[in-house]
Structure 1
Amino acid sequence: MSWKSLESPRDLGSPDPIIVRVQSLPARSQFIEHSHSWNQLVYAVAGVLTVSAEGQSIAISPEQAVWLPTGTKHSVGSLMGAEFRSLWVAHDACPGIMPEVSVVEVSGLLRALIIEGATLSSVDDRDYANRVVGLILDQLRRARTTSAVLPWPKNPSLLALCEALYADPADTRDVDEWGRELGMSSRTLTRHFEQEVGMTLRAWRLRLRVFKAIELLCGDAPITDIALDLGYASASAFIYMFREEMGHSPLQYRRRLGGI
């Protein structure tokens, strides 16, 4: 199934100093490659985004955002759909902030500020709006970068594999079975996957399950259902994995989301 190409909006003017765009991205849709004469923070309050820039593709969860400096060519999409929030930040509004493409951790405060910033309009109290904008810029200056992203391949065969596993993380096919599916030996598949993605298929599947868990925890599905959807035999096995990877339980993570 092909992806739907979207045109980047061009009628919103230039940020002065910030514009917060709100958009629901349908499944399998993406903005074609483009660039801006301002900085951009790519973020989704729900769902997972795929961001391609500077020859790399990654997926980010609602725990993360991608900072794109002025002039960076990029494309943004979502395999399963996402609630997209895009911050356009004037080039001179944040001198010295992250001069390179960076993935940053989104704190609870920054998430809340982005959501609030999206509600502001020209008729709102200017002093209040300026304070919100100032706090957003302060949070961007304090944001910590992270390498805990989900690399995304561009090779068509590997892309088909990753999309299938993302759609069904409980898929039990091993590297031998996937090799036969894609018409290559398991050794060739392993080598190509590690060269393009930078990690083993096993490690990638674990990280995928973490990302899918984060995505599903944004809804109201029971923890046991989420565990089974991700391919775990029991809720306890899923809870153990999530705690090991995230530092807290799935319920603690969900309560933290609900508190924003």
Structure 2
Amino acid sequence: MALSLDDVTVRVGGATLLDRVTATVAPGRVTAILGPNGAGKSTLLRAAAALIRADGRVCVDGEDIIRMSSRSRARAIGYLPQDAAVHWNLRVHEVVALGRLPHAALPMEDRAATDRALAVTATSAFADRPIVTLSGGERARVLLARVLAGEPRYLLADEPLAALDPAHQIDLVARLRAYAAGGAGVAVVVHDLLQAQVAADDAVLLDGGRVVAAGPSGDVLTPDNLARVFGIRVAAVENQGRKLWVPVGR
């Protein structure tokens, strides 16, 4: 059981954005998607969510994603884009409740799921505020709450840490790990190498639309791989008995 991409290629306007990519997002684990600018990270998530035309095969728990109904896909996969815009002058709890649209649930169940999503993203305090009054970081947490309210089996988030201050980055990493611990598969595009190592069980390292390495994060995020893909030198630091790599130069 997994969200799997098998030999996936994406071409747009004559450019190859993904080239025969094979990757897996496993239930109960957090997978970090890393690579330099233009490596295909966002395209990989969009292909996994069936939001872009792709050759190859994408399966959700063994079922080909293109054979699933749009409602079934929306229940299985929650997608948080990198630059999620808000076009509605709604209150926060109304925005989060939109995540329940794929479900044919009782109102009580929808409200409970919405309240849980607000709580885990620490946005309950401004549930009644119009979303347009929030800061960028607060709005980012609300949009994550909207995805979580849908209780997807797989959560795909494109740079969810980008708009957050360090304290909320730490909180969000903890929440993503907790969501995975509940049995969901989580895939996150990240640029911060240290956060990727702290957050992820697995990693997919991309360069030029191809997979350089994929597997357990400790096997993927090695000095040799990081030098090859990013052109950087790293030094080791210890964190709770675990060795982490920190960029120190080029």
The alignment's TM-score, normalised by the length of structure 2, stands at 0.28
Larger radius of gyration: 1
More strand, by proportion: 2
Q: Does 1 or 2 have the higher relative contact order (CA < 8 Å, sep 6+)?
A: 2
